[in-house]
Amino acid sequence: MRVLVTGATGFIGSHVAAALVRRGDQVRVLRRKDSRTIALDGLDVEHIYGDVLERETVAAAVHGCDLVFHVAAVASYWRARREQVYRVNVQGTRVVLDACLAAGVHRMVYTSSVAALGIPRDGKPADETQTLDRNAERWPYAHSKHLAEQEVRAAVAQGLSAVIVNPAIVIGPGDHNIISGSMIVEMAKRPLPAVPPGGVSMADIDAVVQGHLAAAERGRAGERYILGGENLTYKEITAIIAEVAGRPAPRWITPAWVLPLAAAALDMINHFVARPIASGDQVRLSAHNVFFDSGKAMRELDYHILPFRDAASRAYLWYAEHGYLT
């Protein structure tokens, strides 16, 4: 089978491409010429140079493919301009969908995010039925993913067999852009005295990749599937990372009322630094338990929740071996 993967120089995309190569598919990747290719080193893939916003290039990349994984996105939204987030995540998705429709692609899998579901509103882990609230535009990344999902459903209505997957926070080796793995890198370098009161769903990259492949094979067109992990508080997450990295675990929990002030300060600081390590939005969200229910993916895709500790250990070793912790 010939398969196209967009975003294959990134964390999730590179692991999806590697899994496809291992199972014997002919893999084509669409990437910019200036993209770092460390994630693709040693992989036997065909390279198409271009951008998801270039219609002719995308059409050429999609041509002849049976299956397309559209993983490309601005995921490190705190390092990008708001308009860039929407342009790549929404317009770029529309370009890929149009190319898939024109080429008669048999199946397309779109990598969204649990961010597109918003913050759980009843204190329980959210499932696929939840949608963003009316104030969604205050969260550009989440809103862009929500709008991109609407584009996917519109393409399904036109006849495209497309499935949406919504990974949680993904952890594992190979996150060379230090997006989800930033907490591991920072804690390995210096002790963290306190953590916020909330929590998140931490997914193992191996589980997320298998979820992508299963969605291509068994997912229902137009449906979304949460690819989550263990729902853990930040105190639990940092205790595990501290043990893995040989650091003392944080002792204190930051009061929730402090977080809006810290978020505003961080937003101001980020105007003056070249490469922010976090955003005010992330700080604001850290006051909440942003937990998710992967039951639908478990039932329909045979998705498995894997232990966060193992994913964190593998990520830490990868960062250490590649010089990120010095």
Domain contains 117: yes
Q: Is residue 323 over pLDDT 60?
A: yes
Question: H-helix or E-strand containing 102?
Answer: helix 92-103
Strands (E), the chain: 2-6, 26-31, 46-49, 67-70, 107-111, 162-167, 169-171, 194-195, 199-204, 224-227, 230-233, 252-253, 289-290
- Look up tokens 């210096």; give the residue: 190
Number of domains, the chain: 1
Q: Locate 100 and state its tokens.
A: 């898939």
Angle at 80 between CA 76 and CA 83, to 5 degrees: 125
pLDDT tens digits along 145-160? 999 999 999 999 999 9
Mean pLDDT of the region 44-59: 96
| 263, two tokens | 């978020």
**Residue 149 maps to a domain:** yes
- Closest residue by Cα to residue 93 from 130, 133, 29, 144: 144
Q: Are 156 and 101 in contact (CB under 8 A)?
A: no
How far is the C-alpha of 218 from the C-alpha of 240, rounded, in Å? Answer: 34
For residue 156, tell me if it sits in a domain.
yes
Is the residue at 254 inside a domain?
A: no
**CATH, residue 30:** 3.40.50.720
In terms of residue numbers, what domain contains 22?
2-174+202-231+290-308
Q: With a threshold of 0.75, does the pTM exceed it?
A: yes
Residue 243 covered by a domain:
no
- The answer to whether 161 and 101 are in contact (CB under 8 A) is no
H or E segment and range at residue 197: none
In this prediction, residues 307-325 reach a mean pLDDT of: 96
C-alpha to C-alpha distance for 18 and 25, rounded to whole angstroms: 10
Question: pLDDT digits over 210-253, tens only?
Answer: 999 999 999 999 999 999 999 999 999 999 999 999 999 999 99
